[in-house]
Structure formats: structure tokens, C-alpha cells
């Protein structure tokens, strides 16, 4: 609910302009990118129940306080704009974005703790049970990603933004109690959750006892302790520095160690390949929705397509559990990768199909300046496929949102011109057919890499490695917004589709390389 509503609130606050939403997205991506390793390290260092309870409390409290601030801003916006010559409004915007960012960071910590650590321990490290629980949790995510925005969207549409904020505030307070109770209950039911890997200080005590007994440390565990001791002594060396420098150096070193740990993992290529899949416009986000609007797709049809895509996503989770049982986890990733890429070929075909507005000359104004000036030039011929908008033929992918019904993860426009239609719907049909069917392979592949990370990463590094994985995901997601900013017109969308497919192909190629190495290693061991 909150993830959907905050973007709408920011648009409403800034005069139905996307600037605050863009700043908010940049802050979210930047904060997780910089702090992902630190969040994961914090998850590793602390008891599981304290991490879950603290993350849950910080997340829901931040959302609650932010909702209160938004209610005050919406209720007294005119009076607030008169304080400090309008600068108090900027302060309110800043507070809202900071609180929302804190909530997102806490949500990231909670996701790492529960979905990457707790469920591995709860299933008793049983791969079959782990696969089933991963699929079940992903189905819950899929369903709530549809129902939650639908609920809050209807409240905001039928009532007001203030009532919407109040609804989210009340829901967060209620869910805080329920979630806290459920997490505590699970923690008590599963005693293994109270057992954490030894910390650096615990290793020091073990090594000291061994040395006092005159015993030599042997085996891999002793070597690991000695390596940790060297790192621990390095941290001791910086205690003579001022406190602020100590903190900064420790944070910097923790981040570097987290990224090194991520790079050392046997599943590094699989995780990096998954991150590359985030650099795409081929999803049901505001970019694809805006493009569909320029091609004459109505809001009701977009909502229907969104529901169908959720169903195909659920089909991907079912396919994952069955494929893993029959062909194994690594081969499941290979099959889902091929299925994902095969479906995306429909999106590539849509770029060159009848009805596509692609116009390569828009990216080469110097070479096309002579021809574009002619009334019957090639550019004007290709632009006839673009759905006409009131603002002209070169509307950006995010059109004016002065008349929008917010009822789902997508936006539904009610100012579609009547009596007009593109010359052909073949291009847009192929695009959405590819996007919807590709979600089967996409979610199956996502679950495959998730379980590979769960099974392969040692327990003491599970948090920090998954924190870095979250950072990589946000980094690649940030690149896709930069792509759209660089080529914002509907005529550019075909180029963005091709670039997206290139990134996705690169990501799957990394997984293929990982699978080849994993199979070769398995053959050598057997």
C-alpha cells in the first residue's frame, strides 16, 4: 500500500508534477546502493528476533509518522506555503522523502532477514521444503501487490488523499501489532532461529582457550578464525583515531568487505545476472503504461492486462516447484532463462511490426534535419502510428496526469481522445503478449537464483551478501530510468525495448556461464 501510495502523494503535493517522484526514486536507489552492505552486515551481527522486531518497528513507525506529516500538509497546504516564503514546504517535502526512505531501508532489512535467512532455518535446510516456501511467499507477494494498491487506490479515489493517508496510518498500526505477534510466535516455535554463527569476539575467546590449552588450531574452522583475527586486529589499529573517523573507516571497510564477500560467492554470476534483469522497460511500471497510453490502450484494458500478468507470474511459481523436482535447481534456471528470452522475442518483433512508432531519425537530428523539415518526410510517415495526444506528436512516455484514476499498480487515464485509433494494433499486441508471457520464465528464474543464494551462502555472510545483491538490483533499476530520461519520446520506446533485451540476454548469459561451471565442478567431484 505504502509503496504505491507515496508516489501518488508526491505527485499530488508538487502540482501533479513528476519531479518529487523522480527525486524520491533516486533517493531510494542511492540509499540502498550505498547502505545495502551495511544493512546486511547489521542483520548478520545481531540476533534474529531483534533484527526482525527492530526493522518492523522502524518501518511501520516511519510510515505512520510520514502519513501524519502528509495529512497535515494536505490539510494546511495553503498556510504552509506562506511560511518562510515557501521554504517550509520544501522542508516538509524533505521530511516526507527521508521518512519514506527510512521505511524502505527498514523494509529491505526485514526482507533480507525473513526471506533470505529465517526461511532457510525454518525449513531445516531441506531443499524441497525451501523451494516450496519460496514459491509460497512469492505468490503472497504477487497477490498483495495487486490487492493492496487496489484497496488504497479506491479509498483515495472515492474519498480524498487525507483519508487515504489516514487509512494507511491505521493499517500500519494494526499490522505492526499483528506482524510483531506472528514473528515472535515463529521465533518461539523454531528454536534454531535463536542460534547464530559465532561473532568475531566469540572466535577470539575460542582461539584464546585453545592457545591456553597448548593446542594448535587445525582444520578449516581454525584457519577461518585466524583470518577473522587479522581483520579484527586491523580494526583495533584504528582506535587511536577520532571517533568520527573511526566510524567512517569502519563503515567503509564493512562496505568493502561486503562487496568482496559478494564477489567471492560461487553464485556471484547468477546473482549478477539476476541484477541485470532489472534494467528493462518490459514490465508493468509507469514507463510501459505511459507508452501504452500513447498507443491508444484504454485504462480498463491496462488494468485487465495487469491482472493477467499477475496470473502468469503465479504460473511461474508453480512451474518452479515442478521443474526443480524433475530436473534440478540449476537446470530449472536454464529452462526458465530460455523461456524468458523466447517470450521477449515477441517484444523485439513488436518494434518493427505495423503500428510501431519507432523513428531512429529522432536520435540523429543532425543527419535527419534536412528530411524532417519536409512535410512528407520519413519521420512524419512513421509518426502516424503514434496515438495522437493533445500536446503534440512528441509526447513523453509519462504523459500529463491531470486526469488519472489511481486504482492499481498502473495508472488509468480517463482523458483518452475518442474517435481516434492507431493504424494498427499489431505492435502493441505483440509487446504486451511478450511482456505477459515472459513473466512465467522471469519469476521462475528469480526463484531459482534466490534459492541458489540461500543454499550456497554461508550463514555468517547471508545478510551482507544479500544486502549487496539488493544494492546491485537497485543500481541496475536506476540505469533503466536513466535510459528513459535519455530517450523519453514514444518514438524512442522501440530502442529502449532492444536495449532492455540486450541487458536481459547478458544477465541470462551470466547464468549460463555459472551453470556450466557448476555442472563441470559437479562432474569433477563425482
pLDDT, tens only, 203-241: 444 344 444 444 444 443 444 444 455 555 555 555 556
177 Cβ contact partners less than 8 Å away, ≥ 6 residues apart: none
Which set of grid coordinates corresponds to residue 322?
515442478
- In order, the DSSP letters of 445-465 are HHHHHHHHHHHHS-GGGHHHH
CATH (residue range 248-358+423-525): 1.20.1250.20
> Which of 61-75, 409-423, 446-460, 505-519 shows the lowest mean pLDDT across its residues?
409-423
Q: Residue 343's pLDDT band (boundaries 50, 70, 90)?
A: very high
> What is the residue whose three cell numbers read 490539510?
75
Question: Which of 38, 7, 8 minimizes the C-alpha distance to 25?
Answer: 7
pLDDT tens digit sequence for 121-140: 998 888 889 898 989 998 88
Cβ(43)–Cβ(463) under 8 Å? yes
φ, ψ dihedrals at 525, nearest 5°: -70, -30
pLDDT of 149 reads 75
pTM: 0.75
Sign of CA dihedral 216, 222, 223, 225: negative
- pLDDT tens digits along 355-390: 877 766 655 553 444 444 444 443 444 444 444 443
∠ at Cα 483 (385, 366), nearest 5°? 65
Q: Give 406's pLDDT tier (boundaries 50, 70, 90).
A: very low
Nearest Cα residue to 112 out of 54, 197, 52: 52
Helix (H, G, I), strand (E, B) or coil at 276: helix
202-216, 390-404, 446-460: lowest mean pLDDT where?
A: 390-404
Report the 3 state secondary structure along 388-414: CCCCCCCCCCCCCCCCEECCCCCCEEC
* The predicted structure's pLDDT at residue 241: 60
CA angle 254, 255, 261 (to 5 degrees): 85
HSE-CB for 394 with a 13 A CA cutoff:
7
Residue 392 zone, left/alpha/beta (φ > 0; ψ -120 to 50; rest): left
247 pLDDT more than 80:
no
Read off the C-alpha cell for 494.
Answer: 522501440
Closest CA relative to residue 4, chosen from 411, 475, 480, 476: 411
% of the chain with per-residue pLDDT over 90: 29
Q: Give yes or no for residue 103 having a pLDDT over 80.
A: yes
Taking residues 424-435, report their average pLDDT. 88
229 or 153, greater pLDDT: 153
Q: How far is CA 364 from CA 360, 369, 488, 489, in A?
A: 7, 8, 15, 14
pLDDT of residue 212: 46
Report the C-alpha gap between 244 and 241 in whole angstroms: 8
Compute the distance between CA of residue 156 and CA of residue 260 in angstroms, rounded to an integer: 45
Task: Give CA angle at 136 (130, 140), nearest 5°.
Answer: 145
How far, in Å, CA of 460 to CA of 274, rounded? 23
**Range 200-212 burial, b when 16+ CB lie within 10 A, else e:** eeebbeebeeeee
Distance CA 164, CA 171 (A): 11
User: In the predicted model, is pLDDT for residue 261 greater than 80?
Assistant: yes
Q: How confident is the model at residue 319 (pLDDT cuts 50, 70, 90)?
A: very high
* CA quadruple 436, 438, 440, 445: dihedral sign: negative
Task: Tell me the average pLDDT across 503-524.
Answer: 92
Query: Residue range 430-448: average pLDDT?
Result: 93
Which of 12-26, 122-136, 480-494 has the largest mean confidence?
122-136
C-alpha cell at 266: 560461487
Q: How far apart are CA 362 and CA 55, in angstroms?
A: 47
Question: Which pLDDT belongs to residue 523?
Answer: 84
Which of 151, 433, 163 lies closest to 292 in space, CA to CA? Answer: 433
The residue with greater pLDDT, 520 or 299, is 520
Mean pLDDT of the 325-343 span:
94
pLDDT band at 401 (very low <50, low <70, confident <90, very high): very low
Give me the percent of the chain exceeding a pLDDT of 70. Answer: 76
What value does the mean pLDDT of the chain take? 77
Task: Between 251 and 226, name the one with better pLDDT.
Answer: 251
* Distance separating alpha carbons of residues 349 and 188, to the nearest angstrom: 54
Q: Which of 13-27, 141-155, 215-229, 271-285 has the lowest mean pLDDT?
A: 215-229
**Which pLDDT band, with edges at 50, 70 and 90, does 416 fall under?**
very low
pLDDT for position 383: 41
pLDDT at 199: 52
Q: Which segments of the chain belong to CATH 1.20.1250.20?
A: 248-358+423-525
The contacts of residue 303 (CB under 8 Å, 6+ apart) are 407, 408, 410, 412
Does the pLDDT at position 518 exceed 70? yes
Tell whether the model's pLDDT for residue 328 goes beyond 80: yes
Residue 419 vs residues 388, 416, 509: alpha-carbon distances, Å:
11, 10, 46
Which pLDDT score, from 0 to 100, does residue 427 have? 87
- Position 363 scores a pLDDT of 52
User: How many residues does this entry show for the chain?
Assistant: 526
Cα angle: 292, vertex 294, 297; to 5 degrees? 45
- Output 400 or 250, whichever has higher pLDDT: 250
Grid cell of 68 as nine digits: 501524519
Give the pLDDT score at 364: 56
CB 274 within 8 A of CB 449: yes
What grid cell was written down for 175? Answer: 499490522
Amino acid at each position: 500500500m505504502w509503496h504505491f501510495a507515496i508516489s501518488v502523494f508526491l505527485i499530488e503535493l508538487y502540482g501533479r508534477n513528476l519531479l518529487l517522484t523522480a527525486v524520491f526514486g533516486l533517493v531510494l536507489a542511492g540509499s540502498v546502493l550505498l547502505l545495502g552492505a551495511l544493512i546486511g552486515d547489521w542483520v548478520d551481527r545481531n540476533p534474529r528476533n531483534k533484527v526482525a522486531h527492530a526493522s518492523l518497528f522502524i518501518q511501520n513507525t516511519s510510515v505512520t509518522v510520514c502519513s501524519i506529516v502528509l495529512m497535515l500538509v494536505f490539510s494546511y497546504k495553503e498556510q504552509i506555503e506562506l511560511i518562510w516564503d515557501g521554504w517550509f514546504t520544501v522542508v516538509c517535502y524533505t521530511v516526507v522523502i527521508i521518512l519514506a526512505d527510512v521505511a524502505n531501508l527498514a523494509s529491505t532489512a526485514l526482507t533480507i532477514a525473513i526471506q533470505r535467512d529465517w526461511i532457510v532455518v525454518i525449513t531445516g535446510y531441506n531443499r524441497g521444503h525451501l523451494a516450496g516456501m519460496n514459491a509460497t511467499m512469492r505468490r503472497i507477494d504477487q497477490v498483495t501487490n495487486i490487492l493492496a494498491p487496489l484497496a488504497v487506490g479506491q479509498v483515495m479515489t472515492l474519498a480524498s488523499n487525507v483519508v487515504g493517508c489516514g487509512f494507511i496510518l491505521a493499517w500500519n498500526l494494526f499490522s505492526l501489532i499483528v506482524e510483531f505477534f506472528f514473528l515472535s510466535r515463529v521465533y518461539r516455535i523454531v528454536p534454531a532461529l535463536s542460534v547464530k554463527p559465532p561473532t568475531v569476539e566469540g572466535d577470539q575467546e575460542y582461539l584464546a582457550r585453545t592457545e591456553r590449552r597448548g593446542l594448535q588450531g587445525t582444520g578449516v574452522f581454525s584457519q577461518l578464525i585466524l583470518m577473522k583475527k587479522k581483520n579484527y586486529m586491523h580494526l583495533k589499529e584504528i582506535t587511536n583515531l577520532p571517533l568520527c573517523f573511526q566510524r567512517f573507516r569502519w563503515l567503509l571497510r564493512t562496505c568493502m568487505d561486503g562487496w568482496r564477500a559478494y564477489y567471492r560467492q560461487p553464485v556471484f554470476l547468477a546473482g549478477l545476472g539476476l541484477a541485470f534483469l532489472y534494467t528493462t522497460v518490459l514490465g508493468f511500471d509507469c514507463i510501459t503504461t505511459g507508452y501504452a497510453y500513447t498507443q491508444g490502450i484504454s485504462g480498463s484494458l491496462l488494468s485487465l492486462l495487469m491482472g493477467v500478468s499477475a496470473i502468469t507470474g503465479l504460473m511461474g511459481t508453480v512451474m518452479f516447484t515442478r521443474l526443480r523436482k524433475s530436473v534440478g535447481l540449476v537446470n530449472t534456471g536454464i529452462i526458465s532463462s530460455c523461456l524468458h528470452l523466447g517470450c521477449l522475442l515477441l517484444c523485439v518483433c513488436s518494434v518493427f511490426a505495423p503500428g510501431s512508432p519507432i523513428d531512429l531519425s529522432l536520435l540523429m537530428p543532425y543527419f535527419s534535419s534536412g528530411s524532417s523539415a519536409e512535410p512528407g518526410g520519413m519521420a512524419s510517415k512513421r509518426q502516424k502510428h503514434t496515438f495522437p495526444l493533445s500536446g503534440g506528436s512528441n509526447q513523453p512516455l509519462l504523459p500529463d496526469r491531470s486526469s488519472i484514476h489511481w486504482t492499481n499498480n498502473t495508472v488509468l487515464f480517463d482523458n483518452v481522445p475518442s474517435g481516434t485509433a492507431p493504424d494498427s494494433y499489431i505492435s502493441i499486441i505483440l509487446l504486451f503478449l511478450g511482456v505477459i508471457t515472459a513473466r512465467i520464465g522471469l519469476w521462475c528464474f528469480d526463484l531459482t537464483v534466490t534459492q541458489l543464494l540461500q543454499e550456497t551462502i554461508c550463514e555468517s555472510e547471508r545478510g551482507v551478501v544479500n544486502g549487496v545483491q539488493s544494492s546491485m538490483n537497485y543500481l541496475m533499476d536506476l540505469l533503466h530510468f536513466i535510459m528513459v530520461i535519455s530517450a523519453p519520446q514514444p518514438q524512442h520506446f522501440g530502442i529502449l525495448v532492444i536495449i532492455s533485451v540486450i541487458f536481459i540476454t547478458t544477465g541470462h548469459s551470466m547464468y549460463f556461464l555459472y551453470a556450466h561451471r557448476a555442472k563441470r565442478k559437479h562432474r569433477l567431484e563425482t
